Amino acid sequence: MTQSPLPPDAQADSLQRGKAYAGEGVTVYYDAPRCVHVANCVRGLPAVFRPGERPWIQAWNAAAEQIVAAVRSCPTGALHYALTGGPVEQPQVPTTVTAVTDGPLLLRGDLRLQTPAGELHEVRAALCRCGASSQKPFCDGTHAKIGWKSGGEAPAHLRGDDHPEPGQRADGARESTEQGPT
């Protein structure tokens, strides 16, 4: 009988984690809709991540430790790994949230994401903030296609550091001083 490299709970999770690519002591999972082509994987381990070739992930070309490091560099969670009999990926502590200019929010940590398919336990994710992704809550790269801009700072009254002058409303408008009918 072939033993699965994943513990039972991780196996269930992996169903949502895309196509499997087996290597020596490690399996890489690739969830294509969550890849926004940042190419950290390709730059980090070009012997394994080979766009333009088939299969594009050739997990037999490197040691498991190198593959684990490359997979963990994927900011979107499009890549995951399972070590044969080894530990699962541990979440980063503390959790961090990074806003990419004109792009998604990148999260790393012990994440519980509410998705149309149910709650997903994740350690890395890129969440859409342009509103146009077809894979919400995940970014699917549409922000670049539509030229979405994250813009500058929020208006002062939304940042909470605005102190309206007397007679001025928090949204910047002047309050009327006229008396209504008595």
Assess 142 for contact with ligand FES (CB under 6 A): yes
Alpha helix (H) residue ranges in the chain: 8-14, 40-44, 64-72, 142-145, 156-159
Assess 103 for contact with ligand FES (CB under 6 A): yes
Kindly tell me which residue out of 39, 60, 140, 169 binds ligand FES, with binding defined by CB under 6 A.
140
Residue 88 or 111: the one with the smaller Cβ distance to ligand FES is: 111
Assess 107 for contact with ligand FES (CB under 6 A): no
35 touches which of ligand SF4, ligand FES, none (CB within 5 to 8 A by kind)? Answer: ligand SF4
Distance from C-alpha of 181 to C-alpha of 155, rounded to nearest angstrom: 35
Distance from C-alpha of 160 to C-alpha of 55, rounded to nearest angstrom: 51
Distance from C-alpha of 17 to C-alpha of 172, rounded to nearest angstrom: 47
The answer to whether the CB of 132 falls within 8 A of the CB of 139 is no
Footprint of ligand SF4 on this chain (CB under 6 A)? 35-41, 74, 76, 78-79
Q: Which residues bind ligand FES (CB under 6 A)?
A: 103-104, 128-130, 132-133, 139-143
